[in-house]
Structure 1
Amino acid sequence: MGHQTETGRPWDEELVPDERGRTGNPEQGCPVEVALAAIAGRWTTLVLRELMHGPASYGELRERLPRISPKVLAERLRALEDRELVVRERVRGFPVRTSYGLTPRGEALRPLLVELYRTGSALS
């Protein structure tokens, strides 16, 4: 039996396996809130999806996602970098190019994206 809530009902140990999620408010440290923040923002999941195939330049991402505006793509890449989900690397040569790739933290989002797709398919 799981720990009890304030109402006396036990916690579902699969949904809430530890204290970080046992709150009545959306807390920043809650693992669910952390995961949702990681993929927040329109286009973010599509940018992540494209980077799941391997590193890509800004131009390659624009080609793969032709409807995303340059401004939004730059903002999403910056936000993903800030969250330490994406790393930006300068590629030697002329002209100098920039490549974006997933960090191990970014790669860890793969099962979440797969499950979101499955769930969305089941709900539609």
Structure 2
Amino acid sequence: MSDSPAYSHVDPRVEALVHDLIGRVADKWTMLVIEELSEAGTLRFTQLSRAIPKVSQKMLTQTLRAMERDGLVRRTVHPVIPPHVDYCLTDLGHGLGESFCGVWRWAEQNLAKVERARDDFDAARS
């Protein structure tokens, strides 16, 4: 993008962040975590794991750590026995989730058109 004259003024740090975030939200686990936390507010690790049944413990841990590093989730360790950890979305996490609501709306509005285009394409290739 930055090679294009229209984007010659883009801060390379912003461009890098956009690429990182696209990669993060393209990862289905991140979007599912955002969805669950936006609906529930705060969840323990085990609650998130149950809410997203196909995610492995390792992948959920990696996803949450990456999201915490990016400032999308807040991790709170409660000093009880046994200790437990809660996760909630930060303002950044809520904002990212809201940004991608537009993609959902677009998909809902254009589902039939996309399906028709795919069917037409597949029929022409057969």
State TM-score, norm by structure 2: 0.69
Q: Mapping of 1:1-124 within 5 angstroms? A: 6=5, 19-20=9-10, 28-30=13-15, 32-33=18-19, 35-53=21-39, 54-124=41-111
**Whole-angstrom CA distance in 2 between matches of 1:76 and 1:35:** 13
CA deviation vs aligned residue, 1:77-99 (integer Å, no higher than 9, x gap): 01101111111111233221000
Instruction: List, as ranges, runs of 4+ consecutive aligned residues in structure 1 with deviation greater than 3 Å.
Output: 31-35
Structure that is richer in helix per residue: 2
Deviation at 1:45, TM superposition (A): 0.4
CA deviation vs aligned residue, 1:35-65 (integer Å, no higher than 9, x gap): 4244242311001111112111100001111
Is the CA contact 1:28–1:34 (under 8 Å) kept in the aligned structure 2?
no
Percent of pairs identical after alignment? 26
Quote the residue 2:124 is aligned against: none
RMSD: 2.5
Runs of 5+ consecutive residues of structure 2 not aligned to the other structure: 112-126
Aligned residues: 106
State TM-score, norm by structure 1: 0.70
Runs of 5+ consecutive residues of structure 1 not aligned to the other structure: 22-26
